[in-house]
């Protein structure tokens, strides 16, 4: 047993007063959850303290909230750990009054608050979910038995099926803060569940739909907040990136040119084993332009528009300065490092597996017998270098 103080952002809509902070003192085992703490306060002190909750086991998705500023589930955040985090935060930026740090609990972000920790998910989260046509659209009549599909495909989309619609990712989404119309991490992860499902017959239409929407898949800024927030390992951003990759494969033009950028980078690693910054920008906007006389207007526009970024990068030391920045002129890295990188690339290509926790298990899983070790990688690098020499 230990004592904790929960500092709760409260809002009582019928009081006519603005939102306010209230502290509740609770006493419970550190291994119990922040939700357990809130329920103790509700049971003992104030029954009007309102929070949606049901399963207490991170499966129903009711208790999305912000704890010490971090979006997640109240039931899945141990109160002892929340206290440690609060103390750590306080040590970085000490409270002016020298008060002991408290666990700060707030309603989720990017949603209107109804009462205390209860938010209006219908007008935000669920409206966005419905935006992605969230049901299977198979072609024709179903077969007599089950659809026969690759076993991996079902495991693959099970990662997005693991979503419990708690809204933590939506709450944490920085893109949505800037653009409230962004379809958002939860709904796009849900979209991947259909795009990745071999039984769905509308893959193309779905991808065009999500790519052409200005608030669609290219609105994500890759900030990883949703991955941090998700209590179920759905990794919504990864699902968005898969959608982008599939869109690229479908020949859909990425308005932000991100897809070309990825291809340019990948090609360069494959061929050179290192990043050639100067070439990267050119290859992103005008792939293969060297030797061609007329790059497209769009490419020239893109290249010109990139100039300020390039200059800033040089100024801050993020890119090498002239004359090393002449496209195509790239110094060799020492000790055959580039060959090693190329070998790693080759290995990754040959063992192409989506990073999916359902397939590979978590990071601590011991390698399968055929998985590479450092030794085999080195050997492969050596043989790759040899073949290049010959």
Partner 1 sequence: MLGARQYPTAPSDFGAIESAPVPTHDVLVIGAGLAGQRAALAAAEEGVSVGIVSKVHPVRSHSNAAQGGINAALNPGDSWESHAFDTIKGSDYLSDQDAVEIMCREAPEEILHLEHLGVTFHRNEEGKLGTRAFGGASAARTYYVADITGQAIMHVLYEQLMKHADSVARYEEWFSTALALDEQGECCGVVTRNIADGSMELFRAKSVILACGGNGQVWKPTTNALICTGDGIAMAYRVGAKLMDMEMIQYHPTTLAGKGFLITEGARGEGAHLLNAKGERFMERYAPNKMELASRDVVSRAEQTEINEGRGFPDGTVALDITVVPKKRVHEALREIVLVGKDFAGVDITREPIHIKPGNHYTMGGIKTDVDGRTDIPGLYSAGETACVSVHGGNRLGANSLLDTLIFGRRSGADAAARAKRTEGSRPSKAVLEAEQATIDAISAREKGSGRRVSEIKFDLGTAMDAKVAVFRDEAGIQEALETVRRLKVEAETAYIDDKGSIFNQDILGAIELGYMLDNAECTCVAALERKESRGAQYRTDFPERNDEEWLKHIDLQLNDDGPEISYSEVTITQWEPQERTY
Report the distance separating Cα 110 and Cα 181, nearest Å: 11
Which CB sits closer to partner 1, 11 or 345? 11
Which CB sits closer to partner 1, 76 or 330? 76
Q: How far is the CB of 286 from partner 1 (least distance, A)?
A: 35
Helices (H) and strands (E) in the chain, counts: 16, 7
**Length of the chain counted residue by residue:** 390
Which CB sits closer to partner 1, 69 or 361? 361
Q: How far is the CB of 331 from partner 1 (least distance, A)?
A: 43
Which CB sits closer to partner 1, 143 or 288? 143
> Two tokens at 82?
């929340």
Listed in sequence order, the residues at least 6 apart from 64 whose beta carbon sits closer than 8 Å to its beta carbon are: 71, 72, 73, 74, 108, 119, 166, 167, 168, 171
Which CB sits closer to partner 1, 72 or 273? 72
Listed in sequence order, the residues at least 6 apart from 333 whose beta carbon sits closer than 8 Å to its beta carbon are: 273, 274
Q: How far is the CB of 146 from partner 1 (least distance, A)?
A: 5
Q: How far is the CB of 120 from partner 1 (least distance, A)?
A: 9
**Which stretch of DSSP H or E encloses residue 289?**
none
Report the b/e string of 2-13 with b at 16+ CB within 10 A: eebbbbbbbbee
Q: How far is the CB of 239 from partner 1 (least distance, A)?
A: 14
Which CB sits closer to partner 1, 132 or 384? 132
**Which stretch of DSSP H or E encloses residue 232?**
none
Angle separating helix axes 185-195 and 203-212, nearest 10 degrees: 150
Burial level of 107, CB count in 10 A (0-12/13-18/19+)? buried
Which CB sits closer to partner 1, 202 or 254? 202
Which CB sits closer to partner 1, 215 or 261? 215
Which CB sits closer to partner 1, 187 or 269? 187
Q: How far is the CB of 319 from partner 1 (least distance, A)?
A: 41
Q: How far is the CB of 114 from partner 1 (least distance, A)?
A: 6
Tokens 């005008």 appear where?
Answer: 286
- How far are the Cα atoms of 39, 229, 250, 386 from residue 242, in angstroms, in the given order? 39, 19, 12, 35
Which CB sits closer to partner 1, 43 or 386? 43
Q: How far is the CB of 364 from partner 1 (least distance, A)?
A: 8
Q: How far is the CB of 236 from partner 1 (least distance, A)?
A: 15
Report the distance separating Cα 323 and Cα 60, nearest Å: 59
Q: How many CB atoms lie within 10 A of CB 160?
A: 25
Report the distance separating Cα 231 and Cα 214, nearest Å: 28
Give ∠ CA 101-82-104 in degrees, rounded to 5.
55
Report the b/e string of 209-222 with b at 16+ CB within 10 A: bbbebebbbbbbee
Q: How far is the CB of 117 from partner 1 (least distance, A)?
A: 10
């Amino acid at each position: 047993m230990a004592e904790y103080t929960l500092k709760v952002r409260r809002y009582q809509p019928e009081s006519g007063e603005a939102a306010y902070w209230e502290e509740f003192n609770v006493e419970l085992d550190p291994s119990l959850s922040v939700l357990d703490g809130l329920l103790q306060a509700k049971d003992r002190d104030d029954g009007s303290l309102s929070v949606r909750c049901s399963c207490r086991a991170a499966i129903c998705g009711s208790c999305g909230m912000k704890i010490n500023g971090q979006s997640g589930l109240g039931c899945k955040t141990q109160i002892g750990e929340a206290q440690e985090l609060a103390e750590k935060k306080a040590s970085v930026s000490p409270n002016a009054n020298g008060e002991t740090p408290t666990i700060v609990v707030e309603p989720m972000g990017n949603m209107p608050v109804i009462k205390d920790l209860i938010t209006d998910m219908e007008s935000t989260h669920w409206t966005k979910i419905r935006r992605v046509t969230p049901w299977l659209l198979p072609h024709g009549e179903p077969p007599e038995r089950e659809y026969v599909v690759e076993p991996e495909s079902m495991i693959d989309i099970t990662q997005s099926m693991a979503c419990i619609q708690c809204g933590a990712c939506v709450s944490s989404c920085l893109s949505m803060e800037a653009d409230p119309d962004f379809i958002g991490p939860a709904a796009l992860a849900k979209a991947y569940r259909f795009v990745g499902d071999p039984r769905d017959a509308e893959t193309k239409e779905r991808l065009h739909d999500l790519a052409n929407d200005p608030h669609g898949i290219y609105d994500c800024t890759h900030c990883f907040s949703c991955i941090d927030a998700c209590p179920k390992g759905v990794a919504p951003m990864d699902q968005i990136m898969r959608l982008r990759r599939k869109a690229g494969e479908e020949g859909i033009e990425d308005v932000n040119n991100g897809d070309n950028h990825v291809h340019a980078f990948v090609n360069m690693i494959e061929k050179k084993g290192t990043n050639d910054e100067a070439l990267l920008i050119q290859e992103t906007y005008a792939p293969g332009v060297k030797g061609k006389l007329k790059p497209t207007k769009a490419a020239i526009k893109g290249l010109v528009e990139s100039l300020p970024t390039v200059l800033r990068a040089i100024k801050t030391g993020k890119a090498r300065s002239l004359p090393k920045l002449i496209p195509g002129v790239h110094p060799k890295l020492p000790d055959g490092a580039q060959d090693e990188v190329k070998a790693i690339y080759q290995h990754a290509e040959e063992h192409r597996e989506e990073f999916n926790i359902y397939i590979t298990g978590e990071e601590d899983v011991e390698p399968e017998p055929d998985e590479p070790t450092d030794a085999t990688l080195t050997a492969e690098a050596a043989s790759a270098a040899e073949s290049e020499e010959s």
